[in-house]
Structure 1
């Protein structure tokens, strides 16, 4: 039996469909370099196309943060959740759920670096494919979706003077990718997030945006996904 709006127990894992879509990415995907405090949990994908096929594609890597990777049961690993969110996670519905959904709900107890690392490819370069532009777009995307209350944004507000801009992008920053040291850029002026990125030798652009509260636990180095 399937209730309205309820996924059946055998519903396919949407990550499998995204994996198939990612095979269309013309360049290697970048993620955080291996580190014990991080566990990659998902890679989202967005794209655009015209009569000639794909003309843009972005892969967005999300990861769970373990503040104490030696003991994942340590309460220090738990995210700071409000009571309503905690209750919704603990509530078990009276119908069976797909295993991947149960796993995803359980991960909500822990801090997530949501879409923190993006690899963006464009078929044609333009003013909208520069590193400063893409770095600002990624930073504002994270700010609008994860720091709405802090920015004073209402439900239907999608802009704020508190959002960052290209004028604060600092150039000539070193970015470590797969053993290479690339010349990139950063945004280190926002009170809520830090952003760093670089143009990739394989084509495309790496951008990474991380909440400042998570920075002490991370090594800001990257690698190509194998």
Structure 2
């Protein structure tokens, strides 16, 4: 069956953050609740042993950013879109879309923090360390969310000036109301990043410098009061 033959209204909505959290073997981390941020989407990576059942290895949270959360109709909230992007969103969809797609389509008018908070399950792999996980998260966001500024060549292209572990500095970070030993990368021109080893999992977060002043870099185990 070709995708073009599928009625968009028959496509089910993606799993909710709560549904994914229920499948994850470790607690999921998120930003502390703050008026400027609204959970938009959840992403996952997984692996399987010998083709068996897939296990979630990491879960990422993408957020919509509200620059004026008290008035979401304020034009200051709108993202800096190109004329072609704005025209595409203003035009009616080519085919009727289900409500969840229309809601996502409308939210594309606003800035988002793409895969900003990542929770990674600890594994026995020698290559996985908190430091390597933070570096991979930063370069992943740069490669996908900053392609025009940082990627050279065609798809997939090559990331210009990727971060490395030598860019990591030791800091403390508020997690569940307690300052814990953490890491930061504060040398990249496009993003600021932090991370922490939480025992059974690794927390990392990457935020565009353009939006950093609107975000409180503090974190909580999602679901805790």
Structure 2 spans left out of the alignment, 5+ residues: none
Residue aligning to 1:14: 14
Which stretch of the first structure deviates more once superposed, 42-51 or 26-35? 42-51
CA displacement 1:166-210 (0-9 Å, x = unmatched) = 111112x11111112110101000000000010114x11000000
Which has the higher mean CA deviation after the structures are superposed, 148-157 or 182-191? Answer: 148-157
Query: What is the 5 A alignment of 1:73-84?
Result: 73-84=73-84
- What is the match of residue 57 of structure 2? 57
String of CA shifts for 1:68-89, please: whole Å, max 9, x gaps: 1111111110000011111111
For the residues of structure 2 that align with 1:37 and 1:211, how far apart are their CA atoms?
14
Alignment gaps of 5+ in structure 1: none
The worse-fitting range, judged by mean Cα deviation, of 110-119 and 42-51 is 42-51
Partner Cα separation in structure 2 for residue 25 and residue 152 of structure 1: 32
Equivalent in the alignment of 2:222: 225
Residue 208 of structure 1: aligned partner: 205
State the distance in 2 between where 1:11 and 1:28 align: 29
Question: Is the partner of 2:162 in helix, strand or coil?
Answer: coil
The equivalent residue for 1:151 is 150
- Indicate the SS of the match to 1:209: strand
**Rounded Cα–Cα distance in structure 2 between residues aligned with 1:181 and 1:21:** 27
- Are the counterparts in 1 of residues 174 and 218 from structure 2 also a CA contact under 8 Å? yes
Call closer, same or farther: CA 1:8–1:211 in 2, change over 3 Å: same
- 1:193 has 2:191 as partner: yes
Q: Contact between 1:39 and 1:65, CA under 8 Å: does it hold in 2?
A: yes
**Aligned-partner Cα distance in 2 for 1:72–1:169:** 36
Number of residue equivalences: 221
Corresponding residue of 1:87: 87
SS, match of residue 139 in structure 1: helix
Q: What's the CA shift for 1:48?
A: 1.0
For 2:188, what is the secondary structure of its paired residue? coil
Report if the CA contact (8 A) 2:113-2:207 is conserved.
yes
* Residue matched to 2:120: 120
Give, in angstroms, the shift of residue 42 of structure 1. 1.3
Distance 1:185 1:7, change over 3 A: farther
TM-score (normalised: structure 1)? 0.90
Structure 2: distance between partners of 1:48 and 1:141: 18
Q: Helix, strand or coil: the match of 2:67?
A: coil
Backbone CA RMSD of aligned residues? 2.1
